Structure 1
Amino acid sequence: MTDGVAVLGAGMHPWGKWGRGFTEYGAVAARAALADAGLTWGEVGSIVGAVTVRGGYPGYVAGASFAKALGWQGARVASVYAACASGAQAVDTARAQILAGLADVVLVVGGDAAPKGFFRPVGGDRPDDPDWLRFRVLGATNPTYFGLYARRRMAVHGDTAEDFALVKVKNSAAGALNPNARYRRRVGAEEVAASAMVADPLRLLDICATSDGGAALVLSSMEFARRHGVADPVRIRAVSTVTPRYPSTVLDLPDIATDSTVAAEPPDGSFRASIARAAYEEAGVGPEDLSLAEVYDLSTALELQWYEDLGLCAEGEGAKLLREGATALGGRIPVNASGGLASFGEAVPAQAIAQVCELTWQLRGQAGGRQVEGARVGITANQGLFGHGSSVIAVR
């Protein structure tokens, strides 16, 4: 196990619906991260862009698109696509370049200009892609399978719609304190219950929006950080990008309960749990060492599942952990102190990078009113479809 790589800078373009291109959001975030690191763009040896397939050809070559927007200066370039895990794989690519000695300083950037409404597959027919298949064969749009997962939790663990609403209440309270969040207003449980039904039992305020936004990180070798005068930087200790193991599947759709079927018990060792386990093993830490977690709350019910997959509680006890206040600001293990997707919405290639930005500010003690006291170890978690794991552990 190495000391990892240093996080010298973190920057974001606020989330919202701004009506501009993804390169602008990424370039704004990149300049903010460089300023935070006290470096110029000319000092960067490599840039890694997280790809957005909705950005046309420039989106597929996001690294070069961001490099052009910042001004050609000869840096190495890479572009990475892994759906929701794109940002974490971009971080992993940057880390590998640094540890291999190919660059001392690497800029990681993600940006997105998302369409209104739920995401749909782009690029034509892809019958070997489970994302395409669930839309075209099953009719399972994102909100549909979020609702199916929620139904499974209700059937297997006894979770309620009221439990799901409490996730939104918690995350909106944190997001109200985050200047980069799109939604900066506290929401009550009654408001969640009164919002429109989208995919029973999930209502409009149980499901994240689609957003525009950008995030960036400046990573360096530990030696460069020390030469730069940063003796105790935030360090990335682990990046997990694992794939499922047979017979697990990416979506586990046959195991999902509906009103007319009995839910199957979740299989031992779910894919999401394996993502976290690989990160813990690489970092040499465990759930008991965590100060906070940033997870992909695509829906309120999915956040509860992450509690269990990260080992914050036993299987089936996510709602209990939530009700005890353990995952709220001031609790034992705050989850989504940033406000999560409930407050930001999805800007897909930027979000996993934004999660690491939040860990960076928390571990530095720079998170303002949402600061987790004494934060020393943080984990991020999400997954990209088609078997892309995503988890980052940062320490200080």
Structure 2
Amino acid sequence: MTGEVAVLGVGMHPWGKWGRGFVEYGVVAARAALADAGLDWREVDSIVGADTVRGGYPGYVAGATFAKALGWQGARVTSVYAACASGAQAIDTARGQILSGLADVVLVVGADAAPKGFFRPAGGDRPDDPDWLRFRILGATNPTYFGLYARRRMAVHGDTTEDFAQVKVKNSALGALNPYARYRKRVTVDEIAGSAVVADPLRLLDICATSDGGAAVVLCSMEFARRQGVAEPVRVRAVSTVTPRYPNTVLDLPDIATDSAVAVEPAGETFRASIARAAYEEAGIGPEDLSLAEVYDLSTALELQWYEDLGLCGEGEGAKLLREGATTLGGRVPVNTSGGLASFGEAVPAQAIAQVCELTWQLRGAAGDRQVEGARVGMTANQGLFGHGSAVVAVR
């Protein structure tokens, strides 16, 4: 397909709480990705940095910050921010530069040094920011939001707290096999049930932590990959960065000339489902083609919702899919073989890039004990604040 670009290299800095700056994590990941690609930094035409709002001014211009740390060599530079979708936006920007002919080789880097506790809106009072408003007016931190999602699934679909716990059990077992994961310990349903309630019905072990970490990918044109002797590289076939759809109503008032009065029915899918649909349509595939998926499990309940939004099962059937073992290693479509955010925690600008790292290892057959047998097509999915879609389809 003409819209494909090759993933020539991937690299990560282990997640954790290391007490160092985001630049160090990003540089480690970048050098690892360059080594994996077999390239020197001076061969890179462009660098795209995924911004962090927690790193001061250097975090707002992450592309230039990483370029300086690696050693200025004249590369084109871009910095992007889309909250949790920043990594996917950075990958999309890099892909656009390659497909337009502006660059042959682009390095994409994201890293974060997260504070302890809940994320809070950065900067002073921001009454035009819905995140700031729910914190300030409602006192609703992110786990409160996750708890409302979980409670709705229980009420509408009959999910149970044990269903949620089984997501964590699955992901912790996979994270225990991942050398980059922060938490490398299997947990049991009883341990989850015994952890503190944070936002009923979710307990501490149902909710992801905040973490330090970094991830990077080297993307290149298909022609450059062939010149490098890479006959069958992993390819990025689609990147979905769509926004939500809301109903539009045209009022039929006497002083407004309209051809008709139209009330549009609300979209028949969630925003997350629209992110997935756009990726499927661009890639020319469907959910039945997926070998695996990496999804944004801020909470255990949210992973179940992603099963449905990605079309892996029908509405309300996420817990059933989990119970059948379809989403674990060896199942029909393993989800979060990396261990997910359950095992990593959030390092916001890096996480969508880290998802692509996992897909790349899986599609290369290089994921070790986490390997999905015969993996050929993978998909990532998350979403960013203010309606930033984020999904990447990779194939081999």
TM-score by length of 2: 0.95
1:183-219: per-residue Cα shift (whole Å, max 9, x none)? Answer: 0011011100000000000000000000000000000
- Gaps in structure 2 of 5+ consecutive residues: 249-265
2:168 aligned partner, one-letter code: K
Give the residue type in structure 2 aligned to 1:171.
Answer: N
Residue 256 (structure 2) aligns with = none
What are the residue-to-residue correspondences of 1:212-251 with 2, within 5 Å? Answer: 212-247=212-247
Show CA shifts across 1:325-369 (max 9, x none). Answer: 100011110000000000000000000000000000000000000
Check conservation: 1:3, 1:235, Cα contact below 8 A.
Answer: no
1:22 matched to 2:33: no
Using the alignment, how far apart are the partners of 2:24 and 2:282 within structure 1?
A: 35
Q: 1:394: which partner in 2?
A: 394
| Aligned residue runs from structure 1 range 12-161, under 5 A | 12-161=12-161
Instruction: Give the C-alpha shift of residue 267 in structure 1.
Output: 6.6
Letter in 1 for 2:362: Q
User: Are the aligned partners of 2:150 and 2:301 in contact in 1 as well (CA < 8 Å)?
Assistant: yes
Between the aligned partners of 1:362 and 1:120, the Cα distance in structure 2 is 34
Cα separation, 1, equivalents of 2:269 and 2:194: 36
The CA distance in 1 between the partners of 2:66 and 2:173, in whole Å, is: 33
Q: Which runs of structure 1 show a deviation greater than 6 angstroms over 4 or more consecutive aligned residues?
A: none
In 2, distance between residues paired with 1:45 and 1:55? 25
CA contact (8 A) 2:279 2:391 kept: yes
User: How far did 1:71 drift?
Assistant: 0.4
Q: Aligned letter for 1:94?
A: A
Secondary structure in 2 aligned to 1:356? helix
Tell me what 1:269 maps to: 269
Q: Partner of 1:179 in structure 2? A: 179
- Equivalent position of 2:327 in the other structure: 327
Equivalent residue, structure 1, for 2:377 = 377
1:105 aligned partner, one-letter code: V
Shift of 1:43: 0.1
Counterpart of 1:261 in structure 2 is none
Q: Give distance in 1, aligned partners of 2:333 and 2:128.
A: 39
Say which SS state the counterpart of residue 163 (structure 1) adopts. helix
Encode CA deviations 1:360-390: one digit per residue, 9 max, x unaligned: 0000000000000000000000000111000
Distance 1:190 1:214 in 2: 32
- Offset, 1:247: 3.8
Instruction: Tell me if the contact between 1:126 and 1:132 (Cα under 8 Å) persists in the aligned partners.
Output: yes
Residues 75-116 of structure 1 deviation map (CA, whole Å, 9 limit, x = unaligned)? 000000000000000000000000000000000000000000
Partner of 2:255: none
Is residue 10 of structure 1 aligned with residue 47 of structure 2?
Answer: no
Secondary structure of 1:181's aligned partner:
coil
Cα distance in 2 for residues equivalent to 1:2 and 1:304: 34
Q: Distance in 1 between matches of 2:284 and 2:347?
A: 31
RMSD of Structure 2 on Structure 1 (CA): 1.0
2: distance between equivalents of 1:292 and 1:134?
35
Alpha carbons 1:87, 1:349 under 8 Å: kept: yes
Do structure 1's residue 302 and structure 2's residue 302 form an aligned pair? Answer: yes
Aligned partner letter, 2:111 = G
1:130 shift after superposition:
1.6
Q: Helix, strand or coil: the match of 1:42?
A: helix
Q: Secondary structure at the match of 2:174?
A: helix
Query: What is the aligned-residue identity percentage?
Result: 87
Matched with 2:251 is none
User: 8 Å contact 2:247–2:267 — kept in the other structure?
Assistant: no
CA contact (8 A) 1:107 1:219 kept: yes
Letter in 2 for 1:66: F
Structure 2: distance between partners of 1:267 and 1:131: 24
Q: Which residue of 1 aligns with 2:208?
A: 208
**Per-residue deviation, 1:124:** 1.5
TM-score by length of 1: 0.95
Correspondences of 1:282-301 after superposition (within 5 Å): 282-301=282-301
Q: What is the SS of the residue equivalent to 2:116? A: coil
Q: Which residue of 1 aligns with 2:253?
A: none
Quick one: which amino acid aligns to residue 268 of structure 1?
Answer: G
Q: Is the 8 A contact 1:175 1:339 kept in 2?
A: yes
Mapped to 2, the partners of 1:195 and 1:114 lie a distance apart of: 23
Structure 1 residue 45, shift from structure 2 partner: 0.2
SS at structure 1 position matched to 2:103: coil
